[in-house]
Chains A and B, each alone.
Chain A
Amino acid sequence: MERNVLLKVKDLETTFFTEDGRVPAVDHIDFHINEGEILAIVGESGCGKSVTSLSIMGLVPSPPGKITSGQILLGELDLTKQSEKQMRKIRGKEVAMIFQEPMTSLNPLYTIGNQLTEAILLHNKKMKKKEVASKVIEMMKLVGLPRAEELMKDYPHQLSGGMRQRVMIAMALLCNPKLLIADEPTTALDVTIQAQILKLMKELNKQFRTAVLLITHDLGVVAEVCERVVVMYAGQIVEEAPVGEIFKNPQHPYTKGLLQSVPDMRYKKDSLYSIKGNVPKPGSIQMGCRFAPRCDYATERCITENPPLYELGEGTIHKSRCFLQETEGIGIAERVAEG
Chain B
Amino acid sequence: MQNVLLKVDNLKKYFPKRTASLKKVSHVKAVDNVSFEVFEGETLGIVGESGCGKSTTGRTVMRLIEPTSGSIKFDGEDLSKLSKKVMRKKRRDIQMVFQDPYASLNPRHTVKKILEEPLIVHGIGNAQERKERISEYLEIVGLDSYHGKRYPHQFSGGQRQRVGIARALMTNPKLIIADEPVSALDVSIQAQVLNLMQKLQEDLKLTYIFIAHDLGVVRHISDRVAVMYLGSVVELAESESLYAEPLHPYTKALLSAVPIPDPTYEREQMIITGDISNSVTDTGCKFQARCPYATITCKMSTPDLVEVKPGHSVACHLYSTD
Contacts and interface: CB of A to CB of B under 8 A. Distances in A.
A269 B260 contact: no
Contacts of A274: 188-189, 191-192, 194-195
Interface in A170-199: 190-196, 198-199
A127 interface: no
Nearest to A191: B257
B239 A261 contact: no
Contact of B275 (A193, A198, A247, A257): A193
B243 to A, nearest CB: 7
Interface string A33-66: 0000000000011000000000000000000000
Interface stretch (A67-75, A118-126, A215-223, A306-314): A215-223
Interface string B248-259: 000001111111
A271 interface: yes
Nearest to A162: B275
A165 to B, nearest CB: 11
A273 interface: yes
Contacts of B259: 194-195, 198, 218, 220-221, 223-224
Chain A, interface SS category: helix
B216 interface: yes
B191 A272 contact: yes
Given A191-B254, A265-B255, A279-B189, A223 B261 contact: yes
A326 interface: no
Interface residues of A, number: 47
Contacts of A223: 259-263, 265
Interface in A253-281: 257-259, 261-266, 268-269, 271-276, 278-279
B191 A220 contact: no
A325 B50 CA distance: 44
A257 B263 contact: no
Contact of A190 (B194, B213, B263): B213
Interface in A224-270: 224, 243-244, 247-248, 257-259, 261-266, 268-269
B163 to A, nearest CB: 14
A113 to B, nearest CB: 20
B53 to A, nearest CB: 14
A299 interface: no
A7 B275 CA distance: 36
Contact of A259 (B194, B257, B261): B261
Nearest to B220: A263
A275 B159 CA distance: 14
A134 interface: no
A328 B136 CA distance: 43
Given A191-B49, A265-B216, A265-B255, A247 B261 contact: yes
A160 interface: yes
A263 B216 contact: yes
B126 interface: no
Interface string B155-193: 010110000000000000000000000000011111110
Contacts of A195: 256-257, 259, 269, 271
A273 B262 CA distance: 17
Contacts of A266: 243, 260, 265
B187 A262 contact: yes
A271 B254 contact: no
A192 B259 CA distance: 10
Interface in A275-297: 275-276, 278-279, 294
Contact of B220 (A44, A163, A272): A272
A329 B260 CA distance: 26
Nearest to A196: B271
B35 interface: no
Contact of B260 (A160, A265, A273): A265
A163 B50 CA distance: 15
Contacts of B213: 190-191
B258 A220 contact: yes
Given A268-B220, A268-B240, A192 B186 contact: no
Contact of B216 (A162, A244, A257, A264): A264
B219 interface: yes
Contacts of B255: 265
Contacts of A160: 275-277
Contacts of A224: 259-260, 263
A196 B159 CA distance: 35
15 contacts: A190-B49, A192-B257, A192-B272, A195-B256, A199-B271, A220-B261, A223-B261, A223-B265, A263-B214, A263-B217, A263-B219, A264-B260, A274-B189, A275-B192, A279-B186
Given A192-B253, A195-B271, A264-B262, 18 more contacts: A160-B277, A161-B275, A191-B215, A192-B271, A199-B271, A220-B261, A223-B260, A243-B263, A261-B190, A262-B187, A262-B191, A262-B216, A263-B214, A263-B216, A264-B216, A271-B198, A278-B158, A278-B189
Q: Can you list the 6 inter-chain pairs with the closest CB atoms, starting with the nearest? A: A220-B259, A274-B191, A195-B257, A190-B49, A263-B220, A261-B191
